[in-house]
């Protein structure tokens, strides 16, 4: 029996060592990275890599509120910078445990930061991805209003990306390391030099969460600036046979390093497009012109309708159909203009008059009054106004002049600010009442 027990123990140790031998085991410093715990963690974290896969082990109560506790594997980057990583897996030490990528101002526990991370099971519905941020040193962390991105079910492995441009940090995700989906952009107080890397917290202080990453990529202002999106100037185009039209593609950011584009037509017998976006109508019918960025594979498309002005129109045919007293048309409509901007179905060059306009909204700021809403401090709001000249999350006058105003979204934002103002007033009233009671107490002494 004793020999059997010893054999079992030896077999277990051999099996354990076999598993461990598969893990990356070189210090991250061998590859130019630094690793340390941030904050007062109850269990010391660690990390290692083989240059491809990173194993990051972290304890800590959380990356939340005004101070953080986690393990950080990082490099210091300068100016505009970017990090991409694929989160392969993580332990479920708590549903809200976090394994992700981070850009932070300093290594102090209360530093401003942006964190894009996976959680194993925050809502009881499986893994979720969220963007959380601390806009100023010492401020409370905030979870973006669209908290759980990809609510159809985030899953491992997943590619995540943070891009820093000045004070603006943008979060993206993808399952292919391409065709990036922009989640949110946020203005955060950062230094010229920032700390960028992989972050893991167990959300269960004293317990280690082991997470795995690969495809980790870093770049800063000294490196190439990646493309983040492309758009065409029109979403639809009507031409007669033999006519030409020039499509214009706009890249974001405008100073991206690789601005090369590929153009294609879904049906070259209807219309062709050359390497600079010039469309030539060939025959009657419909086709789709697509532009694709060489960097990142981002796409945008325009539907082209070609007509034959010399052809006969069959009796009763029309682009419009009529049912009872209702006329309908499945295409885009332009009034007083020849084009409809990408993403819109109706463009009017002029004024519109109506007794009432109804805008459907799926999101309304009742969340402001829910327990746990992270109300920005008045100090943070004041700093944002002093630096940017407008309220947080509200577009600037320059942005409105260029992009206009989305009525539904602007109504939501304005009501959000009104409800936040209500919370500030209620807090001030409570503080005033407390001070009044203290004054009355002093008078009675």
At residue 402, the pLDDT reads 77
At residue 10, the pLDDT reads 38
* 263, 301 Cβ separation under 8 angstroms: no
Select from 223, 254, 213, 193 the least CA-distant residue to 402: 254
Q: How far is CA 412 from the centre of its chain?
A: 20
* 270, 282 Cβ separation under 8 angstroms: yes
Show Cβ contacts of residue 17 under 8 Å, excluding neighbours closer than 6 positions: none
DSSP E strands, 308-444: 321-323, 326-328, 333-335, 346-348
* 243, 88 Cβ separation under 8 angstroms: no
- Report d(CA 416, CA 373) in Å as an integer: 12
At residue 400, the pLDDT reads 81
Each residue's pLDDT, cut to its tens digit, for the chain (445 residues) gives: 444 443 333 333 333 333 333 455 799 999 999 999 999 999 999 999 999 999 999 999 999 999 999 999 999 999 889 999 999 999 999 999 999 999 999 999 999 999 999 999 988 888 999 999 999 999 999 886 545 555 445 689 999 999 999 999 999 988 887 788 888 889 999 999 999 999 999 999 999 999 999 999 998 866 667 888 999 999 999 999 999 999 999 999 887 878 889 999 999 999 999 998 999 999 999 999 999 998 889 999 999 999 988 765 444 445 667 677 777 777 788 888 878 888 788 888 888 888 888 888 777 888 888 888 888 888 888 888 888 888 988 888 888 887 788 887 888 889 888 988 998 898 888 888 888 888 888 888 7
For 420, phi then psi, to 5°, come to: -65, -40
For 164, phi then psi, to 5°, come to: -105, 125
For 15, phi then psi, to 5°, come to: -65, -40
At residue 397, the pLDDT reads 85
């Amino acid at each position: 029996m004793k020999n059997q027990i010893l054999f079992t123990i030896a077999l277990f140790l051999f099996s354990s060592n076999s598993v461990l031998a598969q893990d990356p085991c070189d210090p991250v410093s061998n590859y130019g990275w630094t690793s340390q715990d941030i904050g007062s963690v109850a269990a010391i974290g660690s990390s290692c890599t083989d240059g491809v896969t990173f194993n990051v082990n972290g304890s800590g109560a959380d990356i939340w509120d005004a101070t953080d506790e986690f393990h950080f594997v990082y490099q210091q980057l300068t100016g505009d910078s970017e990090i991409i990583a694929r989160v392969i897996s993580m332990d479920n030490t708590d549903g809200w445990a976090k394994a992700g990528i981070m850009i932070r101002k300093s290594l102090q526990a209360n530093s401003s930061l942006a964190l894009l991370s996976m959680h194993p099971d925050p809502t009881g519905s499986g893994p979720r991805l969220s963007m959380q941020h601390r806009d100023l040193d010492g401020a409370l962390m905030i979870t973006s209003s669209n908290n759980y991105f990809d609510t159809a079910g985030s899953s491992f492995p997943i590619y995540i990306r943070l891009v820093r441009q000045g004070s603006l940090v943008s979060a993206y995700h993808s399952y292919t390391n391409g065709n990036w989906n922009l989640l949110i952009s946020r203005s955060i107080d950062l230094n010229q030099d920032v700390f960028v890397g992989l972050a893991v917290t167990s959300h269960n202080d004293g317990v280690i969460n082991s997470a795995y990453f690969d495809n980790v990529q870093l770049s800063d202002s000294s490196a190439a600036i990646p493309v983040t999106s492309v758009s065409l100037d029109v979403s639809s185009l009507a031409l007669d046979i033999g006519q030409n039209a020039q499509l214009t593609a706009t890249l974001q950011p405008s100073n991206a390093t690789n601005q090369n584009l590929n153009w294609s037509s879904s049906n070259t017998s209807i219309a062709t497009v050359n390497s600079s976006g010039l469309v030539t109508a060939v025959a009657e019918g419909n086709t789709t012109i697509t532009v694709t960025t060489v960097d990142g594979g981002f796409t945008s498309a325009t539907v082209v309708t070609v007509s034959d002005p010399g052809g006969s129109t069959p009796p009763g045919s029309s682009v419009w159909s009529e049912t009872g007293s209702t006329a309908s048309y499945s295409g885009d409509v332009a009034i007083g203009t020849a084009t409809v901007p990408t993403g819109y179905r109706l463009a009017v060059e002029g004024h519109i008059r109506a007794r009432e306009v109804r805008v459907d909204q799926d999101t309304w700021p009742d969340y402001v009054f829910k327990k746990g809403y992270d109300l920005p401090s008045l100090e943070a709001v004041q700093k944002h106004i002093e630096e940017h000249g407008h309220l947080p999350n509200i577009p600037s006058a320059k942005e409105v002049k260029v992009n206009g105003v989305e009525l539904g979204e602007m109504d939501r934002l304005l009501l959000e600010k009104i409800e936040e103002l209500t919370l500030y007033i209620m807090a001030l009233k409570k503080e005033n009442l407390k001070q009044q009671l203290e004054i009355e107490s002093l008078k009675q002494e």
